């Protein structure tokens, strides 16, 4: 009993520390993103997003291979919320290996300045890979701590230029959300390299990210991933 209580206390303390690190990180990164001006014509920004798109498309192609056991299917839909929660998304995927992703094309206006927002377009494919790699396969939820963990996992899969844009899409967007209380607009910006390095160092003070092949239990959260973008 003593061991169990101690283990529970340690787990609670670890979780509380992770939440505090995420809160501190989000305050800095979110504020920087909100203050930044969108610069879609900046050559460095465009190049970073181009690399992210190319590498995301390779991941998308690999994810849909049919010559593997239990192949994955990705279905783009105009349904605004195909899943009621992160738990439903994760459990549904593991039950049938099908992942539904709300298309950006349901918006009356283009919502991303650099990734095309057509049905099944570059932005849809990017969101599909985030839902698949960052959530469905790992069991990570939609809360801030898990979104930051998902960013750390996906960061491993990209080159340095693509990682720069990925930090904007996953770390900055999710960090700005709690400050604004709603989904922030998508901008063509790149975080300062020093801020990205600081973010990784701060998060690395906790447990390392889970290997990509693991499927930990689903975590409870609220809202759909589409709602968070």
Output the six-digit token pair for 199: 């973010």
Locus of tokens 């849809």: 124
User: What is the value of pTM for the model shown?
Assistant: 0.84
Do residues 215 and 94 touch, judged by C-beta distance below 8 A?
Answer: yes
Whether residue 7 has pLDDT greater than 90? no
pLDDT in tens, 57-90: 999 999 999 999 999 999 999 999 999 999 999 9
Cα 93 from chain centroid (whole Å): 17
Q: How far apart are CA 44 and CA 18, in angstroms?
A: 33
Residue 63: which of 8, 5, 130 has the closest Cα?
130
pLDDT digits (tens, 9 = 90+) for 170-219: 999 999 999 999 999 999 999 999 999 999 988 876 544 444 433 433 33
pLDDT at residue 41 greater than cutoff 70:
yes
Please tell me whether residue 2 adopts helix, strand or coil conformation.
Answer: helix
Half-sphere exposure of 53 (CA within 13 A, CB side): 15
User: How confident is the model at residue 17, as a pLDDT?
Assistant: 76
Q: Is residue 9's pLDDT more than 60?
A: no
CA atoms within 13 A on the CB side of 115: 30
What span, in angstroms and rounded, lies between the C-alpha atoms of 177 and 182? 6
At residue 204, the pLDDT reads: 77
């Amino acid at each position: 009993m003593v061991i169990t209580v101690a283990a529970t206390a340690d787990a609670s303390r670890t979780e509380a520390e992770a939440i505090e690190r995420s809160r501190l990180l989000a305050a800095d990164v979110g504020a920087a993103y909100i203050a930044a001006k969108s610069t879609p014509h900046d050559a460095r920004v465009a190049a970073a997003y181009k690399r992210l798109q190319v590498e995301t498309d390779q991941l998308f192609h690999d994810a849909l291979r049919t010559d593997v056991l239990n192949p994955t299917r990705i279905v783009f839909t105009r349904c605004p919320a195909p899943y009621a929660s992160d738990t439903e998304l994760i459990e549904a995927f593991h039950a049938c290996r099908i992942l539904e992703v709300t298309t950006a094309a349901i918006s009356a206006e283009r919502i991303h300045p650099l990734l095309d927002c057509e049905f099944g377009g570059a932005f849809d494919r990017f969101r599909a890979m985030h839902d698949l790699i960052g959530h469905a396969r790992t069991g990570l939820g939609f809360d801030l701590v898990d979104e930051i963990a998902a960013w750390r996992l996906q960061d491993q899969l990209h080159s340095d230029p693509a990682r720069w844009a990925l930090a904007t899409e996953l770390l900055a967007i999710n960090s700005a959300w709690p400050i604004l209380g709603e989904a922030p607009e998508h901008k063509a910006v790149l975080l300062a390299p020093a801020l990205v390095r600081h973010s990784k160092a701060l998060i690395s003070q906790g447990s390392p990210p889970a290997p990509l092949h693991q499927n930990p239990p689903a975590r409870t959260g609220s809202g759909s991933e589409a709602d968070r973008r």
